[in-house]
Amino acid sequence: MIRSFNISQDIKIALIFCLVLTIVFIFLPTINSETNIEPAIKASTKTKIQKEQQEPILTNTKKQNTNIIKKTKPMLVLICDDVVTSSQINKINTIKENITISFLPPTSGHKNSAKIATSVSNYMVHYPMEAIGRKVEEENTIRIDDSYNTILKRTKQLKAWYPNANITNNHTGSLFTKDGQAMDRLMRSLKELNYIFLDSKTVGQTVAKKYADKHGVRLLQRDVFLDNIQNRQYIRKQLKIAVSVAKRKGKAIAIFHPHKLSVQTIKTSKDILKGVNIVYIKEIL
């Protein structure tokens, strides 16, 4: 009897041991799995945060990109030379762009050009200068043999007529702007009256830069003439060149005249001009 009891006890102990082992093998993987949940979540959260930091903030990025485009879009200055009448102003206004007007000084043939300028907010002065072989010229055109006092007097008169203008460009002047002594005297007078000079570049041998530098006069230069040939296809081609220069340099200056064809062609060439901002000349200073 005693032997039988001992066997029974041994069996019970063995069964209990097996039961314990079974429980351990069943639940141990679960315990290990639960132990690893937090690191897995932390790793996942860390990856998500890193990803969010790397991704751009769309709202701000869009706003910043818009500002960058606005600031870096090439600028094109369109200047209309030879303006003397209000009807020309009205015609130019039909273009509906920021056109800079360059007024010729009053003469017996167009007495009211200075008066008309008072109704225009952005304009400059178109300074008549001696040309090569030109038989017909504006009254009081300055010449290469004019003295400094003569040129200074003329420059002061322009300032009196157009007090709000601080930029002037040459009207004709193919002879004058390549003459060193004449340009030396002109730049000296412009400096005295705080003018900026835009070289229309009516001649390739212009010495405007040399004498502007000498006298500390700020110098701008025309990049493209749009309408020296009165032909629609030609004007559009010149507009494309002007836009190309603006895109390459960031800004460009193009000059045209108040001819009906010129105005109409520019007005209907928005497809060419859409890649640039048309700005007044003061905006590139």
Residue 275 DSSP class: T
* Residue 158 host element (H or E): helix 148-161
Q: Locate tokens 């020309």: which residue?
A: 88
Distance, CA of 215 to CA of 211 (rounded, Å): 6
Q: What are phi and psi of 268, to 5 degrees?
A: -105, 20
Q: What pLDDT, on a 0 to 100 scale, did the predictor assign at position 41?
A: 33
Q: pLDDT by residue (tens digit) across 3-43?
A: 444 556 666 666 666 565 555 454 444 434 333 333 333 33
Q: pLDDT by residue (tens digit) across 99-130?
A: 999 999 999 999 999 999 999 999 999 999 99
Query: Kindly report the CA angle at 78 between 224 and 172, in degrees rounded to 5?
Result: 55
User: 167: which strand partners?
Assistant: 196
Domain boundaries, the chain: 2-55, 74-284
Residue 284 above 50 pLDDT? yes
Q: pLDDT by residue (tens digit) across 166-183?
A: 999 999 999 999 999 999
Q: Model pTM greater than 0.85?
A: no
In this prediction, residues 204-213 reach a mean pLDDT of: 99
Residues 154/156/161/166 CA torsion (nearest 10 deg): 110
Q: pLDDT by residue (tens digit) across 220-251?
A: 999 999 999 999 999 999 999 999 999 999 99
Q: What pLDDT, on a 0 to 100 scale, did the predictor assign at position 2?
A: 42
Average pLDDT, the chain: 85
Q: What pLDDT, on a 0 to 100 scale, did the predictor assign at position 135?
A: 87
Could you tell me if 184 and 154 are in contact, meaning their C-beta atoms sit under 8 angstroms apart?
no
Q: What pLDDT, on a 0 to 100 scale, did the predictor assign at position 62?
A: 35
Distance, CA of 139 to CA of 162 (rounded, Å): 17
Length of the chain counted residue by residue: 285
Q: What pLDDT, on a 0 to 100 scale, did the predictor assign at position 139?
A: 97
Q: What pLDDT, on a 0 to 100 scale, did the predictor assign at position 52?
A: 33
Q: What pLDDT, on a 0 to 100 scale, did the predictor assign at position 182?
A: 99
Q: pLDDT by residue (tens digit) across 39-51?
A: 333 334 334 333 3
Helix/strand/coil (H, E, C) string of 212-244? HHHHCCCEEECCEECCCCCCHHHHHHHHHHHHH
In this prediction, residues 136-152 reach a mean pLDDT of: 98
Q: Locate tokens 């879009």: which residue?
A: 73
Largest CA-CA distance found in the chain, in angstroms, rounded:
150
* Residue 109 host element (H or E): none
Reply yes or no on domain 74-284 having CATH 3.20.20.370: yes
Q: pLDDT by residue (tens digit) across 60-89?
A: 333 434 344 455 799 999 999 999 999 999
272 contact partners, CB below 8 Å, separation of at least 6: 236, 239, 240, 243
